[in-house]
Structure 1
Amino acid sequence: MPKSGPTHFVIDDHGPVRIIGLDVKIPGLHHGLIDEGAANWLDNVLAQAPDRPAIIMMHQPPFATHVPYLDAYCCHEGRRLAEVVSRYPAVERIVRGHVHRFMLVRFGETVLCTAPSTTAAIALQMRPDAQPASYIEPPGFLLHHWTEETGLVTHLVPIGSFPGPYTFA
């Protein structure tokens, strides 16, 4: 029988960084929601190891992208997430997708980044009257590397064949 309800999860046993999956999707809709249950679940999970580095993964963005046709697909009640995360300085990053664009924003006393697309990229059009569009841009992904000395470093990596290598001076 399929599981009903959110599918939050925690990976605690593979290295020094906790991976926390926060399910914010609403079945049948494009936008998400940080409801009280999700906020409480996350607060409880972070409180179990408040000093351990953590990455929170989610789908929809809990902030305004200022691309009007993307903001219709945001995660509502993002302030709840920001309130919880702001209490836990060991949250290194919030990562998410859904908008097919790389974005970086300060959020809840941490950094939130969105992944670029591996397929079509959503057009970066910030005018209020902008019409939805997408383009074939170079695909990419984010690589997150954590060390005790630096914390989490995030690299934007394009996918493809590119000229080089060239000498480094």
Structure 2
Amino acid sequence: MTRILQITDTHIVAPPNKVSKVLDTYSLFQQAVNKINKDLVKLGKIDAIIVTGDISDRGDEESYKAFQELITQLHIPYFVIPGNHDRREAMRTCFTSLQSTNLSEEINWIHAFPDLDVIGLDTVIPNSGAGRLSETALTFLADSLQQSKDRPALIALHHPPFESGIQFMDAIGLDGANAFSEILAQSERDIRVICGHLHNSIVCSVGGKTVLSSPSTASSFVTDHRDNAPVGFTQQAGGYMLHEWNNGFRSSYLTLAESGPLYPF
């Protein structure tokens, strides 16, 4: 069994800065780490953490170092992919696992666990909120899925390969989603896809595979499909995800809100 936590959209800024002059994302992530550490007593052994982008809000080295100070408190190996707020060059400088290639190159990787492959894809368009799966990323994905065809694969990317119905987010969606869907449909492997970006938990089917977006640790976006829906975020407590492989995928949503008393039946 392989068990992986997904954390996304931490949007860290180093203290005393705040995102949009409202969100103290450093303190919010510290609270999230504290809650996750409490939850680990109930969850059991975790093999790794996947952080699906927008680690930093500004893409500066100071914020990545602040993020590292906090995530290391979980004492679990972690892997990162960039989101639209991140900067590849600063990430490669700060995260030693990313320093094997040139600073400006896409951050696409594959990591093999005993019974599962995890594939990380870079969807960043520099200086844009929107995302794109380039020919490089799509080729990397197709080639990775051709390996070890009898093994399941967990694919992680930042931008969702589907429309969410949240219109201001769909406006900065993912170019290349159709090609991505075709690659998934052609693969015989058991695949689950995870993403961030939406600050919301949504489940879809793409290319015949299940795709899930995780909520953020920093803020929440309201599910509002109206044409005139207001643009913005709420400070409602977000969450994170647990993805498990045990002769099949199972994904669980875990809230960062503190639970109330437990009542017996």
State if a TM-score over 0.5 links the two structures. yes
- Give 1:7's aligned residue: 107
TM-score, structure 1 length as denominator?
A: 0.91
Asked if 1:61 corresponds to 2:61, the answer is no
Out of 89, 92, 106, the residue aligned to residue 205 of structure 2 is 106
1: CA distance, partners of 2:142 / 2:204: 21
Task: Give the whole-Å Cα distance in 1 for the aligned partners of 2:190 and 2:132.
Answer: 20
TM-score (norm 2): 0.59
1:29 and 2:149 aligned: no
Paired positions, count:
165
Worse-superposed segment, 25-34 or 158-167: 158-167
The residue that corresponds to 1:160 in the other structure is 257
Deviation track 1:112-167 (CA, whole Å, cap 9, x = no partner) reads 0000121210122111222202112222111011102xx11000111132113222
Bigger proportion of residues as strand: 1
CA distance in 2, matches of 1:15, 1:136: 39
Give me the whole-angstrom Cα distance separating, in 2, the residues matched to 1:99 and 1:124: 10
Deviations 1:90-133 (A, max 9, x none): 24311000110000001111000000121210122111222202
Write out per-residue CA displacement over residues 39-85 of structure 1, whole angstroms, 9 at most, x where no aligned residue: 11110111011221000000011211111101012111200100011
Stretch moving more, 129-138 or 77-86: 129-138
* 1:43 correspondence with 2:142: yes
- Greater helix percent: which structure? 2
Match of 1:140 in 2: 239
SS at match of 1:62: coil
In 2, distance between residues paired with 1:89 and 1:141? 28
The higher relative CO (CA closer than 8 Å, separation ≥ 6) is in: 2
Matched, 1:76 2:175: yes
**2 CA distance for matches of 1:118 and 1:79?**
29
Report sequence identity in percent.
25
| Paired amino acid for 1:11 | H
Gaps of 5+ in 1: none
Q: Distance in 2 between matches of 1:108 and 1:137?
A: 32
Q: Which amino acid aligns with 2:257?
A: G
Letter in 2 for 1:19: V
1:129 paired to 2:228: yes
> Which runs of at least 4 in structure 1 moved beyond 3 Å after TM superposition?
none
Paired with 1:121 and 1:144, the residues of 2 have a C-alpha distance of: 21
